[in-house]
Amino acid sequence: MSCLSACPSTHSLSLPLSTTYCPATEATHPTAQSLSLSPDSPQQPAMASTAGTVSPTLSSSHSDPASLTSSLLRARPYRFATQCATVDNPDPQHKDQYGSSSVPIYQTATFKGMGGAYDYTRSGNPTRSHLEHHIAKISNARHAFAVTSGMGALDVIFRLLKPGDEIIAGNDLYGGSNRLIGYLKTNGGITTHHVDTTDPESLVPLLTDPARKVAMVLLESPTNPLLQIADLETIARLVRQHRPEALVVVDNTMMSPYLCRPLELGCDVVYDSGTKYLSGHHDLMAGVITCDRDDVAKGIAFTINSIGNGLSPFDSFLLLRGVKTLSLRIDKQQANSVLIAQYLDALGFKVNYPGLPSHRGKAVHDRIASGPGAVLSFETGDVGMSERIVGSARLWGISVSFGCINSLISMPCLMSHASIDPAVRAARNLPEDLIRLCVGIEDPQDLIDDLEAALLEAGAVRVVDEAGARATLERVRPAGEDVVELSGLREVQRFEAGRPEVERVMTSAPGKVILFGEHAVVHGVTAIAGAIDLRCYCLAEARSDGHVSLSLPDLGYSQSWDLSTLPWHLVSAPLSSLKTGPKPDTVPSAELLALLANQFVHQDQLKAVQAAQAFLYLYMHLCAARGDAARPAQSFTIRSGLPIGAGLGSSAAYSVALASALLYSHGVLPLPSGPGAAEARITRTHADLVNAHAFLAEKVIHGTPSGIDNTVAALGGAVAFRRAVKGREGMLEPLGPQEGEGAGSAATAAARGIRFLLTDTKVPRDTKTLVAGVARRKLEEPDTINPLFDSIQRISDRAHSLLASSPASPSARASQLAELSQLVEQNHAHLVSLGVGHAALEAVRSTTGAQPWALATKLTGAGGGGCAVTVVPDDFSDEALTSLRAALASSGFDTYSTTVGGRGFGIVVPSAEGGAEVDSAEGGAEQTKVPERRRFEESQGEELARWAEGVEGWVLA
Ligand SMILES: Nc1ncnc2c1ncn2[C@@H]1O[C@H](COP(=O)(O)OP(=O)(O)OP(=O)(O)O)[C@@H](O)[C@H]1O
Ligand SMILES: C[C@@](O)(CCO)CC(=O)[O-]
């Protein structure tokens, strides 16, 4: 056996080697896994080899051109494939005595002598050191460790946590990781919150909640098996910003260091199952961990030595051998994968693969990784059919795992993800019929032939034309699946873009305040809410260039689409009746949403993309429902006088303003104002139609809204609302008299007469994520959550009867308000127990609850930050209200005093003079003329409302 002297005392690398803590000897010694690389982090890992390098600083001896050129050539860092193939000695000063070309296997448990670099293989072994050095080099990492499996790597990383710590993880995690997380919860006191990591904002409520002890964020990208993309770079930045002490950990197995190096994106710890791409041959089990931070490396080294799961010498040798061909294998596997994904996509299966242009996370993935990888998944729509396809494949081996040079096929729900409870799988949208393909290095035509044979045998496709070299196939859709033309965006439909029926309309819709029952209302509990006097406005104008455009000045976003490039084939069937609108249980088509998501140029502006997705969805849906291929070219500009994403129903106001602008401008509803107006009144039927369309847009923005926000925004007034769930009828009861007040109950003596103070904490949050979090807790902890909902139902019932009654005397009124205040306190406590509280909301409550004000306050809307609502009794003086608002403002909060129960949506046909000019400066010597449009686009807050109210002819519901 060769003798590598593995305890270097000096280092010849131009950048210093760091040292790694060695727990075996309680000392620091320079083992090979510690490697410092170039601080300016080149695109490819910096070269750590002495072979083929010269000092980048050229001396005067390089004066002749040949020598200079050759020096420059040698000074270039090696590219990834070269680095994989060239294995350096961790200590280049000490060569193998026999010049062995391959790293020898030090098959020994112990080492003789005292004070040497190695004493016991559990603590360190030269073969393992070589491997770790090599992994650090290709990963551009300071430290690397090799252990006995990928799960072993995760276990070591989890041991950096303490009982009581909390983890944020994705909701599409590898099943094995989920199993370990479950163990940690039961036995380690470590809780995990699963969020949608495709939306970086979904982590913010947890990261900013001081009550949460978030110590780790665990990410996968692309996820396995749904191939969803997490923006590792943005998430790492958010974690640094809000929770700098938390570690961002990435399972990089799907990508390997060849395609993605998360440490370069700001993540802290990366692990790979070495069993997969790094080894490539499925002949060993291994895991590798890389990190840059010395303190983290020290903790990891301590655990590996303590528990003894360092990789064995023989497996280290095998893994080192595998890594040499990493880039070669992945290049081939990836090229095959692209062909297979395109083949399945062309047949009309729903394919998840970031190499396809239709993949919704492609833009993000292309930014953080250099290739789509070699795993893809697809859905057939039928579990039995999927089982038959998997069973019929021959060349594709049925196997768990991936990353091998042979192609594999599996059904994750039956295999790799079977350890996840089926209910949890369903809640996390993991389709039971999903088939995962892990593509190998075989000839792609053989792979496609075998897959095609399996699809035919399983009845998933049929031959429609046998002529030609290759039969033409057609997908057989499972019963119940809508027949939609799935030829993707490749077929562009040409048509004449029309003009809208109405050239210019403006609409508006109010925000809302939920007084009682938010969140519980999503699950069938009664809630009480009313319209407030802050509104959202939408201006729709005709254009004549075959485009539809959306401008959202509040979010700094605008985009226009060529109408001929939209995926019209996905809405080709009439989807809803024009008389009643979409049914309340209509679920937006995930397929259309995914394709629409792909249309956005600014994928990173998530709020705007959500809003634009809702816009395009509603626009296309309405065009399809009209069924006459009338797709008018139009511009839409939407402004909000409401704080966006603060619990006051900005998304519902947006949805209602948009839906009404569409319905009136397309001529589906008759104009109640302006030239040719039939009747200056909005009927209840018209308001219901607007509401039905707005609900669909709310679903696109929110996921699973209860419908209360859009109902209040459309109809106005104050209502007791119960959603229809599981066969139980819904309820919509106006609170108070409705006479002469439009379609809704524009309010009510009871609710309107009560003053409310709204306080915006300005803590950002996202309703969709918060609602999904409560739904998940209800699923996972029904015994805790259901009693809370029952209690909220009792609170809403009592508030409903209080608000429906008209107190006979001032003292009855005072006790009515006192009881409402108590209910507010109780409801707030329940919302905190549901997990949607926030420290900033408690700060508001402690101010409003303090003397001399002593008022009851609760969060309103989705919580997690956003707004609080305070009941202001009749005898509360204006001076006291002013001083309270000043106190809240001094803590950085915005306040709004509002009435509750105002009017619903409104419409006006502004005069044809779109360019009319008004004075913008008030009384200044040099008055500037500002076009109306600019006033609309640029005015803020009350000025916007004043401007809009100044437009003559509004008709309100
Ligand atoms: N004026 C606007 N311009 C663009 N998008 C908007 C506007 N108003 C609302 N939105 C959309 O609505 C989303 C905010 O909805 P979200 O449900 O998170 O908050 P909210 O409706 O204000 O609060 P809650 O649902 O708790 O009452 C934004 O992310 C954006 O997509
Ligand atoms: C949190 C929630 O109850 C109110 C959001 O304003 C969600 C909904 O009802 O759709």
pLDDT score at 575: 57
Coil vs helix vs strand at 350? strand
pLDDT score at 568: 84
Task: Report yes or no on 120 lying in a domain.
Answer: no
pLDDT in tens, 189-246: 999 999 999 999 999 999 999 999 999 999 999 998 899 999 999 999 999 999 999 9
Q: What distance in Å separates the CA atoms of residue 120 and residue 252, rounded to the nearest whole number?
A: 30
> Would you place residue 680 in the very low, low, confident or very high pLDDT band (cuts 50, 70, 90)?
confident
pLDDT score at 932: 76
Q: What distance in Å separates the CA atoms of residue 503 and residue 914, rounded to the nearest whole number?
A: 11
**DSSP string of 825-874, one letter each residue:** HHHHHHHHHTT---HHHHHHHHHHHSTTT---EEE-TT-SSSEEEEEE-T
Q: Is the pLDDT of residue 24 over 60?
A: no
End position of a domain, from candidates 423, 455, 481: 481
Q: Are residues 477 and 503 in the same domain?
A: no
Q: Is the pLDDT of residue 168 over 90?
A: yes
Q: Are residues 518 and 379 in the same domain?
A: no
End position of a domain, from candidates 434, 454, 481: 481
Predicted-complex ipTM score: 0.98
Task: Report yes or no on 254 lying in a domain.
Answer: no
Task: Report yes or no on 144 lying in a domain.
Answer: no
User: Which residue minimizes the CA distance to atom 29 of ligand 1?
Assistant: 607
Residue among 199, 650, 940 whose CB has most ligand 1 atoms within 8 A, to mutate:
650
Neighbours of 61 (CB within 10 A): 9
Q: Please indicate whether residue 722, judged by its CB atom, sits closer than 6 Å to ligand 2.
A: no
Q: Which residues are catalytic?
A: 122, 174, 251, 276
pLDDT in tens, 873-931: 999 999 999 999 999 999 999 999 888 889 999 999 987 544 334 333 333 333 334 45
pLDDT in tens, 82-136: 999 999 888 877 778 888 999 999 999 999 998 888 999 999 999 999 999 999 9
Task: Report yes or no on 720 lying in a domain.
Answer: yes
Query: Residue 820 sits in a domain of what CATH number?
Result: 3.30.230.10
Q: Are residues 474 and 595 in the same domain?
A: no
- Compute CA 364 distance to the chain's CA centroid, rounded to the nearest angstrom: 11
User: Which residue minimizes the CA distance to atom 4 of ligand 2?
Assistant: 861
Q: What distance in Å separates the CA atoms of residue 33 and residue 949, rounded to the nearest whole number?
A: 69
Non-local CB neighbours of 709 within 8 Å, separated by 6+ positions: 512, 529, 649, 651, 652, 698
Q: Is the pLDDT of residue 933 over 50?
A: yes
Q: What distance in Å separates the CA atoms of residue 756 and residue 776, rounded to the nearest whole number?
A: 32
Domain span at 523? 499-957
Task: Tell me which of 31 and 657 has the higher pLDDT.
Answer: 657
State the closest ligand 1 atom to the C-alpha of 557, by its place in the atom list counted from 1: 4
> Would you place residue 865 in the very low, low, confident or very high pLDDT band (cuts 50, 70, 90)?
very high
Q: What distance in Å separates the CA atoms of residue 395 and residue 511, rounded to the nearest whole number?
A: 59
Q: Please indicate whether residue 898, judged by its CB atom, sits closer than 6 Å to ligand 2.
A: no
Neighbours of 263 (CB within 10 A): 23
Answer for the pair 632, 497: CB distance below 8 angstroms, yes or no.
Answer: yes
pLDDT score at 709: 97
> No. of H helices and E strands in the chain?
28, 31
Q: Please indicate whether residue 709, judged by its CB atom, sits closer than 6 Å to ligand 2.
A: yes
Q: Are residues 465 and 584 in the same domain?
A: no
Q: Are residues 711 and 624 in the same domain?
A: yes
List the single range of 291-300, 510-519, 737-746 with lowest mean pLDDT: 737-746
Q: Are residues 416 and 503 in the same domain?
A: no
pLDDT score at 110: 96
pLDDT in tens, 305-346: 999 999 999 999 999 999 999 999 999 999 999 999 999 999
Average pLDDT taken over every residue of the chain:
85
Q: What distance in Å separates the CA atoms of residue 515 and residue 758, rounded to the nearest whole number?
A: 11
Q: Is the pLDDT of residue 77 over 90?
A: no
Average pLDDT, integer, range 744-765: 72
Q: Are residues 450 and 543 in the same domain?
A: no
pLDDT in tens, 835-859: 999 999 999 999 999 999 999 999 9
pLDDT in tens, 781-820: 999 999 999 999 999 999 999 998 888 888 999 999 999 9
Q: Are residues 510 and 439 in the same domain?
A: no
Q: What is the residue whose two structure tokens read 């993707």?
A: 488
Non-local CB neighbours of 775 within 8 Å, separated by 6+ positions: 427, 522, 523, 704
Q: Are residues 419 and 565 in the same domain?
A: no
Q: Are residues 899 and 941 in the same domain?
A: yes
Task: Report yes or no on 143 lying in a domain.
Answer: no
Q: What distance in Å separates the CA atoms of residue 814 and residue 315, rounded to the nearest whole number?
A: 78
> Would you place residue 639 in the very low, low, confident or very high pLDDT band (cuts 50, 70, 90)?
very high
The model's pTM: 0.55
pLDDT score at 34: 32
pLDDT in tens, 605-616: 788 989 999 999
Q: Taking the alpha carbons of 271, 272, 274, 278 in that order, is the dihedral positive or negative? A: negative
How many domains, in total, are found in the chain? 2
Strands 191-195 and 166-170: parallel
End position of a domain, from candidates 451, 481, 511: 481
Whole-number Å distance, alpha carbon 451 to ligand 2 midpoint, is 46
CA dihedral of 654, 659, 665, 666, whole degrees rounded to 10: 150
Task: Report yes or no on 405 lying in a domain.
Answer: yes
- Express as a percent the part of the chain with pLDDT over 70: 85
Which range scores top for mean pLDDT: 367-371, 414-418, 598-602?
Answer: 367-371
Q: Is the pLDDT of residue 441 over 70?
A: yes
pLDDT score at 954: 94
> Would you place residue 497 in the very low, low, confident or very high pLDDT band (cuts 50, 70, 90)?
low
What single-letter amino acid sits at 204? Answer: V
Q: 640 — alpha (psi -120 to 50), left (phi > 0) or beta? A: beta
List the single range of 421-430, 469-478, 712-721 with lowest mean pLDDT: 421-430
> Would you place residue 63 in the very low, low, confident or very high pLDDT band (cuts 50, 70, 90)?
low
pLDDT score at 574: 57
Q: Are residues 508 and 466 in the same domain?
A: no
Q: What distance in Å separates the CA atoms of residue 367 and residue 216, rounded to the nearest whole number?
A: 24
Instruction: Show the ligand 1 pocket: residues with CB < 6 angstroms.
Output: 536, 552, 554-555, 607, 610-611, 638-640, 644-652, 654, 701-702, 709, 766-767, 861-862, 866
Task: Report yes or no on 306 lying in a domain.
Answer: no
pLDDT score at 579: 82
Q: What is the residue whose two structure tokens read 């965006």?
A: 489
pLDDT in tens, 2-19: 333 333 322 222 222 232
Residue among 512, 513, 522 whose CB has most ligand 2 atoms within 8 A, to mutate:
522
Give the DSSP H or E segment for 919: strand 917-919
Q: At what angle do helices 684-702 and 650-665 cross, to 10 degrees?
A: 130
Query: Residue 472 sits in a domain of what CATH number?
Result: 3.90.1150.10
Answer for the pair 156, 303: CB distance below 8 angstroms, yes or no.
Answer: yes
Task: Report yes or no on 725 lying in a domain.
Answer: yes
Average pLDDT, integer, range 65-72: 84
Q: Is the pLDDT of residue 406 over 60?
A: yes
Q: What is the residue whose two structure tokens read 């094995």?
A: 176
Q: Are residues 526 and 656 in the same domain?
A: yes
List the single range of 345-359, 573-587, 628-642, 894-908 with lowest mean pLDDT: 573-587
Residue among 518, 644, 709 whose CB has most ligand 1 atoms within 8 A, to mutate:
644
